[in-house]
Amino acid sequence: MQRVNISTVSEFVLVGLSDAPEIRLLLFVLFLLIYLATMASNITLLVAISTDSHLHSPMYFFLGNLSLLDILCPTITMPKMLGALLLDNREISFFGCLFQHFSLIAVVGTEIFLLAVMAYDRYVAVCHPLRYLSIVSTKLCAQLAVGTWAAGLLNSLLHTSLVFTLSFCGPNKIQQYYCDIPPVLALSCSSTRSRELVILAVAGVLGSGACVVTLVSYIYILLEILAKNSPGIWQKAFSTCGSHLTVVCLFYGTTICTYVRPSSTYSPHLDRVISMLYGMLTPLLNPIIYSLRNKEVKCALKRVISRARSAL
């Protein structure tokens, strides 16, 4: 019977962004403002989608799920990072690191699948506008949403079990401000090559599948636009798909740079910059992108702000 590796490391130390006290304070203020702005923008958008009847459609249902993910993503990593910057408290328990890793990978995976579902939704809206509500029904929306969250959780469970059943018996300094796959694998004192291959294979298959759905959806949208070639159709299609396409490019660009590569190419300083782009700026920019490009969202946000002012 194969012996199970048991970790001898009870806690990890997260390497912060800076050791200089004056810079740490400046970074703390900057990242706290980014975090608060991210929470405020996504919560406001979520409230608008939930309470405004004009936004009770499949597109905004999926956008609400995206806003929820954009709330969870920085909340998983930034409070610990802010504590490290302000209090120099960089220790995290083994199981705390495991939970942080599991939660983050689950959110990342769910967002990948959700963006593919949103691409399919945009395809139906452009190519089958008259049948849109019958095809993308309430039941289908619920099934797709549950499916994306379930797939994200199962994917994270696999990745977390592959990483945290390794032996950790040496250095415990994680060269990152949160428990991410590459820096945690780098600390293992057992062979990681086979597990890296499995992680890359699973991420490649699932990520490629989501990319294919997104790409095929937009190919059909492009073909539909070229076939009709009516006046104003390009502007209408861009107003329908522009926000989603921008978010897809932003998300996939930063995620691929962070995860889809072997640990031999891991660079702590570069990865911290890339992970900040993904973990902090993307959740902040997503609601801004959708708000700026969408008149219905703008009007709904104005109504929410107006109601909040009246209540206060």
Q: What is the mean pLDDT of residues 239-259?
A: 72
In whole angstroms, give the CA distance from residue 195 to residue 213.
Answer: 27
174 DSSP β-pair partners:
14
Closest CA to 109 of 64, 153, 74, 147: 153
Backbone φ and ψ of 226, nearest 5°: -65, -35
Q: Given a cut of 60, is residue 65 above it in pLDDT?
A: yes
* Other Cβ atoms within 10 Å of 35 Cβ, number: 20
Which among 82-86, 159-163, 243-247 has the top mean pLDDT? 159-163
* pLDDT of res. 84: 84
Contact criterion met (CB below 8 Å) for 297 and 45: yes
Q: Given a cut of 90, is residue 89 above it in pLDDT?
A: no
- Tell me which of 74-88, 133-147, 290-304 is least confident: 290-304
* pLDDT of res. 190: 80
Radius of gyration of the chain from Cα atoms?
Answer: 21
Confidence of residue 239 (pLDDT cuts 50, 70, 90): low
Confidence of residue 298 (pLDDT cuts 50, 70, 90): confident
Which among 22-26, 28-32, 89-93, 280-284 has the top mean pLDDT? 28-32
Output 219 or 278, whichever has higher pLDDT. 219
Per DSSP, which regions of the chain are E strands? 11-14, 91-93, 173-174
Q: Given a cut of 60, is residue 105 above it in pLDDT?
A: yes
Amino acid at 311: A
Confidence of residue 257 (pLDDT cuts 50, 70, 90): low
Contact criterion met (CB below 8 Å) for 49 and 60: yes
Q: What is the mean pLDDT of residues 182-186?
A: 85
In whole angstroms, give the CA distance from residue 70 to residue 62.
Answer: 12
* pLDDT of res. 264: 55
Output 235 or 146, whichever has higher pLDDT. 146
* pLDDT of res. 292: 67
14 DSSP β-pair partners:
174
CA distances from 142 to 119, 145, 264 (A): 16, 5, 41
Which ranges in the chain belong to alpha helices (H)?
Answer: 21-51, 58-87, 94-127, 132-135, 138-164, 181-185, 193-228, 233-259, 268-276, 282-292, 295-311
91 DSSP β-pair partners:
13
CATH architecture of 11-311: Up-down Bundle (1.20)
* pLDDT of res. 69: 94
How many CA atoms lie less than 13 Å away from 188 in the CB half-sphere? Answer: 20
Contact criterion met (CB below 8 Å) for 182 and 21: no
* pLDDT of res. 4: 43
Confidence of residue 48 (pLDDT cuts 50, 70, 90): confident
* pLDDT of res. 213: 92
In whole angstroms, give the CA distance from residue 217 to residue 200.
Answer: 25
The mean of the pLDDT values for the chain is: 83
* pLDDT of res. 26: 87
CA distances from 309 to 34, 53, 183, 305 (A): 23, 20, 46, 6
* Other Cβ atoms within 10 Å of 37 Cβ, number: 14
The pLDDT tens digits for 187-199 are 888 888 888 888 8
Give the total residue count for the chain. 312
Q: What is the mean pLDDT of residues 71-84?
A: 90
The pLDDT tens digits for 154-172 are 999 999 999 988 888 878 8
* pLDDT of res. 156: 93
The domain ranges of the chain are 11-311
The pLDDT tens digits for 263-284 are 555 566 666 666 777 778 888 8
CA distances from 196 to 104, 177, 231, 276 (A): 18, 21, 51, 23
Give the percent of the chain with pLDDT over 90.
28
Tell me the pTM: 0.86
